[in-house]
Amino acid sequence: MLNQVFIAGASDGLALGNMLFLLIAFAILMLLLKKYAWGPVVKMMDDRANKVAHDLDSAEDARQSAETLQQERQAQLTSARTDANTIVTDAKNAANQESQKIVSDAQTTAQAMQDRAAAQIEQDRDQAMLSAKDDVAELSVTIAQKIIQKELKLDDQKALIDAYIDGLGEK
């Protein structure tokens, strides 16, 4: 093989065709690889590099916005807690006042009812007394009449009985 190259006689000749073939084949190989292997892969690698850079940027942004949001939420939480405390305190006060009012109202009402009931009782008693007094008076008059009639004389009694009987008959 060495002879082939270094004893490049005029008859044998250096295989220059090999060189030419290699150059052309290499050029074709480069073209094909550029189109079908290198191009797509390098593009993909670049895309990935861009995507990673982009993702990192957006992650940073997202982190910052999350931090802002966190702070906002913290502030909101604090104010909400204060509000809630205020509301609870207010409600407690209002409830206390209300309950006191209700209790005092109830007391007042109860007192009034008691008073009215007492007056009613008094009145009823008075009325009962009055009617009892009338009944007693009537009864005593009747009794007195009966007693008086008993002590009348016979004639008178007779007359009285007659009168009574007459009275019965009329009735």
Residue number with CB closer to other proteins (13 or 167): 13
Conformation bin of residue 13: beta by default, left when phi > 0, alpha when psi is -120 to 50? left
Cβ contact 128:136 at 8 Å: no
CB of 89 to other proteins, least distance (A): 58
* Residues listed for the chain: 171
- Touching other proteins, residues 76-135 (CB under 8 A): none
Residue number with CB closer to other proteins (55 or 166): 55
CB of 38 to other proteins, least distance (A): 6
CB of 58 to other proteins, least distance (A): 16
Residue number with CB closer to other proteins (41 or 95): 41
CB of 60 to other proteins, least distance (A): 20
Long-range contacts of the stretch 58-61 (C-beta < 8 A, 24+): none
| Total interface residues for other proteins by CB under 8 A | 36
Residue number with CB closer to other proteins (18 or 168): 18
Residue number with CB closer to other proteins (34 or 63): 34
Q: What are phi and psi of 116, to 5 degrees?
A: -65, -40
Contact characters 3-42, other proteins, x per CB under 8 A: xxx------xxxxxxxxxxxx-xx-xxx-xxx-xxx-xxx
DSSP string, 78-98: HHHHHHHHHHHHHHHHHHHHH
Is the dihedral angle over the CA atoms 161, 164, 170, 171 positive or is it negative?
Answer: negative
Conformation bin of residue 99: beta by default, left when phi > 0, alpha when psi is -120 to 50? alpha
53-79: burial string, b at 16+ Cβ within 10 Å, e else: eeeeeeeeeeeeeeeeeeeeeeeeeee
- Touching other proteins, residues 36-65 (CB under 8 A): 36-38, 40-42, 44-45, 47-48, 51
* Residues of the shown chain interacting with other proteins in the complex, contacts defined by CB under 8 A: 1-5, 12-23, 25-26, 28-30, 32-34, 36-38, 40-42, 44-45, 47-48, 51
